[in-house]
Structure 1
Amino acid sequence: MHFLKQAPAAPLASLVLGYWFIQDLKGAHEGRPIQTAPSPTAVLTLNFGRPCTSDFAAGGPRASLLGIQSHHRDWRSGEGCAFVMVMLTPAGLARLFPASGPSTGDDLLELGAVLGDGASRRLVEDLSAAWEPHWVAARLDAWLLERLVTTKPLPETERLARAWDVLRRTSRVDAAARAVNVSTRQLERWFQAHLGHSPRQLSALERLHHSLLAAQTGQGDPHEGFSDQAHRIRMWRRHLGLTPGRFARTPRSMMADYFNPRQEGSAAALAHFL
């Protein structure tokens, strides 16, 4: 398999974590499951070849929007698979695909249901014609920047992004609500409408995300944010389907090795694969 990461244009940095290119044209990974871990990110996936299969009812559409997931997911590659994943922050999901939370939270939506079938098809065809990752990234930059112009932001979008920043730092829903001058109930309605999960659920996914990343890279404290080891084990078992001990005994996948590198500063955004 071949992997490549490209950074988005600077104006998109708060909305898009990056463009991840994956190719398995010869089917080298066929038959081996690819597991993605839950994290507070969403994924716009655009396939240039044969889509991966998945455990979702929608299977593997040519273009899809995967909302924020609270459980690990299984995917399977095969000969001819080639795709790019646009990794979206919660602010990016809310701004670029507003009010999509109820449809995408813990689910996958065909992009045609959001853009219309014609617009979705044209986007994939345009990217497929570019083919080379740096040209695909440039066209994705242009498309996303245009979407920022053509998609009118809702009044709460910017406040939701600020609340999420506070929630990440403090893990306190009341502090996040006070920071944007709304009630905790109103903040919960915003999160459910745009992200598909409550603030408390997103905070738990953030904590789990950092625990997994610390275990994968050896950087940071995998116990941070948990009341005790039993709490950590329960959270891992509930959301990842395995305990920290079992994870430590399991060989890391090639995806995790590539996308979760042992590099200072990489931790904040890249843990996604088991």
Structure 2
Amino acid sequence: MHFLKQAPAAPLSALVLGYWFIQDLKGAYAGHPIQTSPSPTAVVTLNFGRPCTSDFAAGAPRASLLGIQSRRREWRSGEGCAFVMVMLKPAGLARLFPASGRHTGDDLLELGSVLGDGQTRWLLEDLSAAWEPRQVAARLDAWLLGRLASTKPLPETERLARAWDVLLRTSRVEAAARAVDVSTRQLERGFQEHAGHSPRQLLALERIHTSLLAAQTGQGDPLEGFSDQAHRIRMWRRYLGLTPGRFERTQRSMMADYFNPRREDAAAALAHFL
């Protein structure tokens, strides 16, 4: 199984974490379920080969938009699988796919239902013609920059991006609402519309993300954001389905080691392959 990560063009860095390439043409990972943890990240997946199977009702379309997930998911690789994932920050989901959050939160959509079948086919054909990861990344940059240039930023998506920055710094919804001059109710509606989750829900996902990274890498404080160890254990059970102690005793897959932020590409920091 082969993996590669590419950073986006600099103008996209506030919206896109990076491009992740996964290839399993020989089916080396077939039969090994891959679990992904909750994370405040959305994903556009574009398949060059046979799509992997997943636990979503939409099945495995060639092109999909996966919204921000609040629970652990499972998918399976197999012979002929080859795809690239565009990892989107909450602001990226809101700006590049406005108002999609309410449809994609904890769900997956065929990309054609968002972009239109014609544009989706063109994108897949364009990327397949490039094939080599650096060329694919360059074409993804061009496509996303084109979307930015052709769509006018909405005031509410700009507010969401600013509010999310304040939330990450303060963990206070009221402070985020004041920073963008809206009520907490208005802010919650905006997050539900464009990210599919409330600000508090996204903060919970961020805490889980940070705690899991600390447990994976030994870097950072695994209790950050939690009142005590009991609180951390409750949240891990709720969002990950296991305790920190059980996680320490569980052997991680080759993907967990590869998508580790201690490696050279910091764009992988939001990946949690258990």
TM-score under structure 1 length normalisation: 0.97
The residue matched to 1:126 in structure 2 has which SS? helix
Q: Verify: 1:171 aligned to 2:171, yes or no.
A: yes
The residue matched to 2:23 in structure 1 has which SS? strand
The residue matched to 2:82 in structure 1 has which SS? strand
Distance 1:184 1:260 in 2: 35
> What per-residue deviation string (whole Å, max 9, x for no partner) do you get for residues 165-214 of structure 1?
00011110001101111100000000000000000000110011000000
Distance 1:46 1:267 in 2: 18
Q: Where does the alignment leave 5 or more consecutive residues of structure 1 unmatched?
A: none
Amino acid aligned to 1:182: V
User: In the superposition, relative to structure 1, how do residues 221 and 172 fare at CA in structure 2: closer, same or farther (>3 Å)?
Assistant: same
Q: Which residue of 1 aligns with 2:51?
A: 51
**Greater mean deviation of Cα atoms: 165-174 or 252-261:** 252-261
**Greater mean deviation of Cα atoms: 77-86 or 227-236:** 227-236
Distance 1:265 1:172 in 2: 30
Q: Check the 8 A contact 1:42/1:65 in 2, yes or no.
A: yes
Distance 1:116 1:271 in 2: 29
State how 1:68-217 maps to structure 2 within 5 Å.
68-217=68-217
The residue matched to 1:270 in structure 2 has which SS? coil
Q: Check the 8 A contact 1:38/1:205 in 2, yes or no.
A: yes
Q: Aligned residues: percent identity? A: 85
Taking only aligned residues, the RMSD between alpha carbons, in angstroms, comes to: 1.3
User: In the superposition, relative to structure 1, how do residues 168 and 264 fare at CA in structure 2: closer, same or farther (>3 Å)?
Assistant: farther
The residue matched to 2:155 in structure 1 has which SS? coil
Q: By how many angstroms is 1:151 displaced? A: 2.2
> What per-residue deviation string (whole Å, max 9, x for no partner) do you get for residues 35-78 of structure 1?
11111010000000000000000111100000000001000000
Q: By how many angstroms is 1:135 displaced? A: 0.3
The residue matched to 2:269 in structure 1 has which SS? helix
Q: Which residue of 2 aligns with 1:260?
A: 260
Distance 1:266 1:87 in 2: 12
Q: Check the 8 A contact 2:44/2:85 in 1, yes or no.
A: yes
User: In the superposition, relative to structure 1, how do residues 58 and 255 fare at CA in structure 2: closer, same or farther (>3 Å)?
Assistant: same
Runs of 4+ in 1 over 3 A off after TM superposition: 263-268
Q: By how many angstroms is 1:101 displaced? A: 1.0
TM-score under structure 2 length normalisation: 0.97
Q: By how many angstroms is 1:155 displaced? A: 1.5
User: In the superposition, relative to structure 1, how do residues 58 and 70 fare at CA in structure 2: closer, same or farther (>3 Å)?
Assistant: same
Distance 1:170 1:37 in 2: 24
Count of residue pairs the alignment pairs up: 274
Q: Where does the alignment leave 5 or more consecutive residues of structure 2 unmatched?
A: none
Amino acid aligned to 1:181: D
State how 1:224-235 maps to structure 2 within 5 Å.
224-235=224-235
Q: Verify: 1:246 aligned to 2:246, yes or no.
A: yes
